[in-house]
């Protein structure tokens, strides 16, 4: 999905349009991320000022909801499930294999912008885990070898 480059005026318009909602913070963060693909620090400052919140509060909300990102995503996005059922089925080894093969810890994007590795917390596919999402497509029954192949594909 392509996103617009961050534009402060446009972000201010998004905030102005939603700030009178009850509980406006999440809708505003979602709208900014939908438009720009991430919520940069400048947007966090703007949102905090407009909603009379501290920047720490806005950061706290962003990190609580794992879908928000402060940096643009890579062109490919691999999300590995860290929730309980996948962990019980070997999710940690799958995550380690993805991280090693991509050369990235979870939460980071490669410097060339090619790929991001992220965590996700349950895809509702617990019975066929460990699971990941590759560009939004679920991949089930992963093991370290399959995870390494998946990473190689994502890098190709
Ligand atoms: S715990 Fe991974 S899909 Fe539910």
Mean pLDDT of the chain: 95
pTM of the model: 0.78
Mean pLDDT across the stretch 124-133?
Answer: 97
| 123 in contact with ligand 1, CB cutoff 6 A | yes
How far away, in angstroms, is 58 Cα from ligand 1 center?
27
Q: Which atom of ligand 1 has the smallest separation from the CA of 130?
A: 2
Q: pLDDT-based confidence at 148, cuts 50/70/90?
A: very high
Question: Ligand 1 center to residue 85 CA distance, Å?
Answer: 5
Residue range 76-155, CATH number: 3.40.30.10
**Is residue 99 over pLDDT 90?**
yes
- Residue 152 Cα to chain centre, angstroms: 20
Per-residue pLDDT reduced to its tens digit, 12-36:
999 999 999 999 999 999 999 999 9
Instruction: Note the helical H segments in 69-125.
Output: 84-88, 91-102
Q: How does pLDDT run across 51-82, given as a tens digit for each residue?
A: 999 999 999 999 898 789 888 899 999 999 99
Q: At 81, list the tokens.
A: 């499930």
Q: Quick check: CB of 142 below 6 Å from ligand 1?
A: no
**Is the alpha carbon torsion for 33, 35, 39, 44 positive or negative?**
negative
CB of 133 sitting under 6 A from ligand 1: no
Domain limits of the chain?
Answer: 8-64, 76-155
29 lines ligand 1 (CB under 6 A): no
Distances (CA, A) of 49 to 22, 42, 60, 71, 76: 17, 11, 15, 20, 33
Ligand 1 centre to CA of 88 (Å) is 10
Cα 71 versus chain centre, distance: 9
């Amino acid at each position: 999905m392509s996103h617009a480059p961050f534009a402060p005026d446009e972000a201010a318009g998004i905030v102005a349009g939603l700030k009178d909602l009850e509980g406006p913070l999440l809708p505003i963060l979602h709208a900014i991320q939908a438009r720009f693909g991430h919520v940069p620090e400048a947007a966090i400052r703007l949102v905090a000022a407009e909603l009379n919140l501290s920047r720490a509060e806005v950061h706290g909300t962003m990190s609580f909801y794992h879908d928000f990102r402060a940096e643009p995503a890579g062109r490919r996005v691999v999300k590995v499930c860290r929730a309980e059922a996948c962990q019980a089925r070997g999710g940690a080894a799958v995550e380690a294999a993805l991280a090693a093969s991509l050369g990235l810890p979870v939460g980071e994007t490669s410097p060339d912008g090619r790929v991001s590795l992220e965590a996700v917390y349950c895809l509702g596919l617990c019975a066929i885990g460990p699971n990941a999402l590759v560009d939004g497509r679920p991949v089930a029954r992963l093991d370290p070898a399959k995870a390494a192949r998946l990473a190689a594909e994502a890098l190709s």
